[in-house]
Structure 1
Amino acid sequence: MDRREVAALVAYIGRLDPRIIRTDQREAADQLATWHELLDDVPMTTPHGWDARGAARQHIRVSPYPVLPADIARPWESYRRDRLARHTDPTPGVDPDDQAAWTAELIGTRRAVATGSTQPAQYRAITSSQLAPGLRERLRESGSCIPPEVRVALAPYRPARAAREAAVAQGEPDALGVRCEWCQAQVGEPCRRGTAPRTPHPGRLDLAARQAQKAEQVQQSALA
């Protein structure tokens, strides 16, 4: 804030809390100089939510003590920290080989976010659990979000997964769909001999078959 903005802020606070009003001209000048010295780097307002008058008004509402410059500066520092904590540095648009320009753009973006000139850049998040129209039906038809031709192309690079899918397609139980009680392999993990993967242990195959049979019986009962 420049001196005029500080003077306007002090006058605004004086209307809400007359205790800070200075009637002596020299005292008023000293008060203005002190506030300007302490709030020189604090803006009066920003385009995105900060208002020094709001910080002063909130203090007057909840505190019995007169407003001090620190009561404006503290909320401003909290405002800056919160914005930087929510900011994820976007990739600069300059040549990455130009280290000076790259660093300067990062610093400039952070400074703009911290001072409220621009909004924090955040990673996009999942905002809804609703599936796109028609997606559920397409998944039901294909049985997977991976197209069949892609699955075939990936088979040489993941032989264990390909063998599992082939067995399931032939009507065999999904052995990796249950935990192996022999080698303690978790669901989705292959059985092991020492540290090397091996075919599923017989007990795991039996358990998978029993669970598949039970699931089929439950489904038949529900249909009946």
Structure 2
Amino acid sequence: MDRREIAALLAYIGRLDPRTIRTNQGEARDQLAQWHELLADVPTATPHGWDASVAARQHIRTSPYQIVPADLARPWESYRRDRLARHSDPTPSVDPDDQAAWSAELAGTRRAVAAGTTQPSQVRAITTGQDEIEPRLAARLREIGSCIPPAARAALAPYRPARAAREAAVAQGKPDALSVRCEWCLAQSGEPCRRRGIGPDGGARGTAPRDTPHPGRLDLAAAQQAQQTAQAQQPALA
């Protein structure tokens, strides 16, 4: 606040608490100089929630003590700390190889948030709702059909054979075996079948994942697919 804004604030405070009024010209000048010295870096108001007159009125309304500059400086510092605590640095728009410009933009954004001229940038939560997908990302997904590009999917196939076999079967119109529970190895839906080794004592030893599902699981998935197809065709036949 500059001296003119400090004078206006003191006039407002004087209407609420006459104890702060200075009738002597010298005392009034000293009071103005003191408040300006202590509150020069505190703004009168910001676009996002801070107002010095509101803070002053709150103090006068709740405290029996005469207001002093510290009663405005403390709420302002709390306001700054709260905003910075809720701020997550967004990625600067400048070239990341330009370290000076990168650091300057980060610092400038933080100063703007602390000063109340810009809202804090918070980390976006991970969501599963289709309505919350960013429009550009949704258009990209429609274009490529998956969040994993085809080239990357092909490169990953040797490292996840069960997933690759499942995707190939679905692409060919075959039933998705992993959509049902395996009655042989008890693998749950979505999990690959496992190969159970039998030890000399007859007990199971090891459960290594199989690249292909058990035949019984394939039959169960085919039966489920046929049932779903029949149910889908019933309204059309009716």
Q: TM-score range by the shorter chain?
A: 0.5 to 0.7
Using the TM superposition, name which of 16-25 and 36-45 deviates more.
16-25
Q: Which amino acid aligns with 1:80?
A: R
Match of 1:198 among 211, 216, 235: 211
The alpha carbon displacement at 1:174 in A equals 0.8
Name the structure 1 match of 2:94: 93
1:167-196 Cα shifts (integer Å, max 9, x gaps): 234443211223446556454332234344
Q: Which amino acid aligns with 2:156?
A: Y
Name the structure 1 match of 2:50: 50
1:47-103 Cα shifts (integer Å, max 9, x gaps): 55533223334555x6364544344334323432343223423326266364x5543
Contact 2:94-2:101 within 8 A present in 1 as well: no
Q: Does 1:172 align with 2:185?
A: no
Contact 1:92-1:106 within 8 A present in 2 as well: no
CA distance in 2, matches of 1:41, 1:10: 16
CA distance in 1, matches of 2:130, 2:70: 42
Q: Which amino acid aligns with 1:75?
A: P
Q: RMSD across aligned C-alpha pairs, in angstroms?
A: 4.4
Contact 1:155-1:161 within 8 A present in 2 as well: no
Q: Which amino acid aligns with 1:86?
A: H
Contact 2:192-2:209 within 8 A present in 1 as well: no
What stretches of structure 2 of length at least 5 have no aligned partner?
196-206
1:202-213 to 2 correspondence within 5 Å?
202-213=215-226
**1:103–1:154 Cα change, 3 Å:** closer
CA distance in 2, matches of 1:70, 1:182: 74
CA distance in 1, matches of 2:193, 2:146: 25
CA distance in 2, matches of 1:222, 1:68: 79
Q: Which amino acid aligns with 2:13?
A: I
CA distance in 1, matches of 2:217, 2:55: 65
**1:97–1:156 Cα change, 3 Å:** closer
**1:202–1:31 Cα change, 3 Å:** farther
Q: Does 1:63 align with 2:62?
A: yes
CA distance in 1, matches of 2:7, 2:50: 18
Q: Which amino acid aligns with 1:191?
A: C
Q: Does 1:116 align with 2:116?
A: yes
Name the structure 2 match of 1:107: 107
Name the structure 2 match of 1:188: 190
What stretches of structure 1 of length at least 5 have no aligned partner?
none
**1:182–1:7 Cα change, 3 Å:** farther
Name the structure 2 match of 1:10: 10
1:76-134 Cα shifts (integer Å, max 9, x gaps): 23432343223423326266364x554344223312321134454566789992897xx
CA distance in 1, matches of 2:173, 2:116: 61
**1:151–1:4 Cα change, 3 Å:** closer
The alpha carbon displacement at 1:153 in A equals 8.0
Contact 1:90-1:121 within 8 A present in 2 as well: no
CA distance in 2, matches of 1:189, 1:128: 24
Name the structure 2 match of 1:163: 165
